[in-house]
């Protein structure tokens, strides 16, 4: 074989191998449902990636995901909502395909991000839905920016009754655990991550496990501060003036009572525990969650 032929052959081999690697490494290389689009927007000084089901002709719904997830983890709920709403599912900073800044993962940074996204996309009175960390973000937006949302839905937000982590040694242990868990997850292939998803969340669908796995392949190490800075919601709940639904995981009678008491002090807030649901409420009990959500949103159309 001549030198030229060898060069051409090796170029093809390495080019093909690089292509295969890029296809497997690009966890966003998925086919979006028909009519969906994706894009980027500058907000709060960074670029946020988002997925969208509509074109602005329907009422807006902004969905803020939980720690280590990404926008596409909302796929099932968005599919159920897309006939009535223009759903915008964005990747939080350091998650998915959004910018991963070296610092800036305090809860207030995440709040400023979603506010910037809503303003950049010129969304008028969107419904804001947040899960876990995203629920805390949505609650703070409702409390501090009452003119932005029409209604708010918080899915199993942490810190409803007490802080997620106490300062001091408990916080240090939590940081060490989250860092260790992330490092372990980042070593796994998608197939291995799907098995982890099945172990941790046996009640969610196979498709949801795949999206869970994709999101873990995209997360960046610095996002640990996002979960560690989640504040108690007790100072924010009394300030919420827009209709708000809290969908909580199932709990024993004592916990249910304390959570209901915390929410019921504000007449604008309705709290519903979903029987049999864990932290991924909307994915573990989709029909029950959707029934409560649709009832709450029944008069939200603009």
Give the mean pLDDT per block of 10 residues along the chain (302 residues).
39 35 44 95 98 96 98 98 98 98 96 98 98 98 98 96 88 95 97 98 98 98 94 96 98 96 95 98 98 89 44
Domain annotation covers residue 117: yes
Q: Is residue 24 part of a domain?
A: no
pLDDT value, residue 42:
98
Between the CA of residue 258 and those of 56, 227, 238, 245, 289, what are the distances in Å?
40, 23, 16, 16, 21
CA dist 221 and 68 (Å) reads 10
Residue 291 · residue 274 · CB < 8 Å:
no
207 phi, psi to nearest 5 deg: -65, -40
Summarize pLDDT for 162-172 with one digit per residue, the tens: 888 888 898 99
Burial class from Cβ neighbours inside 10 Å (0-12, 13-18, 19+) for residue 299 reads exposed
Q: Are 156 and 133 in contact, with CB atoms under 8 Å apart?
A: no
Does residue 25 lie in a domain region? no
- How many domains is the chain built from? 1
pTM, entire model = 0.90
Distance CA 243, CA 33 (A): 31
Is residue 45, in this structure, part of any structural domain at all?
yes
Q: Alpha carbon of 144 to those of 5, 137, 234, 242, 270: distances in Å?
A: 66, 11, 14, 11, 19
HEC profile of the chain = CCHHHHHHHHHHHHHHHHHHHHHHHCCCCCCCCCCCEEEEEEECCEEEEEEECCCCCCCEEEEECCCCCCHHHHHHHHHHHCCCCEEEEECCCCCCCCCCCCCCCCHHHHHHHHHHHHHHCCCCCCEEEEECHHHHHHHHHHHHCCCCCCEEEEECCCCCCCCCCCCCHHHHHHHHHHHHHHHHHHCCCHHHHHHHHHHHCCCCCHHHHHHHHHHHHHCCHHHHHHHHCCCCCCCCHHHCCCCEEEEECCCCHHHHHHHHHHHHCCCCEEEEECCCCCCCHHHHCHHHHHHHHHHHHCCCCC
- By residue range, what is the domain housing residue 283? 38-164+231-297
Tell how strand 46-52 and strand 86-90 pair up.
antiparallel
pLDDT for residue 29: 61
In the prediction, which pLDDT does 150 show?
97
Residue 260: inside a domain: yes
Asked if the structure places residue 10 within a domain, the reply is no
The CATH number linked to 52 is 3.40.50.1820
Is 205 among the domain residues? no
Helices 133-144 and 107-120, axial angle in degrees (round to 10):
70
Span 50-98, pLDDT tens digits: 999 999 999 999 999 999 999 999 999 999 999 999 999 999 999 999 9
Answer yes or no: is 135 within a domain: yes
């Amino acid at each position: 074989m001549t030198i030229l032929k060898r060069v051409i052959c090796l170029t093809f081999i390495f080019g093909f191998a690089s292509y295969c690697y890029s296809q497997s490494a690009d966890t966003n290389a998925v086919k979006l449902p028909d009519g969906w689009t994706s894009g980027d927007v500058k907000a709060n000084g960074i670029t946020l990636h988002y997925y969208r089901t509509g074109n602005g002709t329907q009422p807006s719904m902004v969905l803020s995901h939980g720690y280590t997830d990404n926008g596409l983890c909302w796929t099932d709920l968005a599919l159920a909502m897309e006939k009535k709403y223009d759903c915008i599912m964005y990747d939080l900073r350091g998650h998915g395909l959004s910018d991963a800044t070296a610092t800036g993962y305090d809860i207030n940074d995440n709040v400023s991000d979603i506010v910037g996204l809503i303003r950049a996309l010129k969304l008028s009175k969107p419904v804001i839905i947040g899960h876990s960390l995203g629920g805390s973000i949505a609650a703070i937006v409702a409390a501090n920016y009452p003119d932005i949302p029409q209604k708010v839905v918080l899915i199993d937000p942490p810190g409803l009754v007490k802080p997620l982590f106490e300062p001091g040694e408990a916080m240090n242990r939590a940081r060490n655990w989250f860092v260790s868990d992330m490092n372990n997850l980042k070593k796994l292939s998608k197939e291995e991550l799907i098995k982890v998803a099945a172990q941790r969340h046996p009640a969610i669908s196979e498709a949801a496990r795949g999206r869970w796995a994709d999101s873990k392949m995209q997360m960046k190490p610095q996002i640990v501060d996002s979960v560690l800075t989640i504040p108690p919601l007790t100072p924010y709940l009394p300030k919420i003036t827009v209709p708000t639904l809290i969908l909580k995981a199932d709990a024993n009678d004592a916990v249910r009572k304390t959570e209901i008491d915390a929410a019921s002090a504000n007449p604008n807030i309705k709290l519903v525990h979903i029987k049999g649901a864990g932290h991924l409420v909307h994915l573990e009990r989709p029909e029950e969650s959707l029934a409560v959500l649709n009832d709450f949103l029944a008069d939200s159309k603009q």
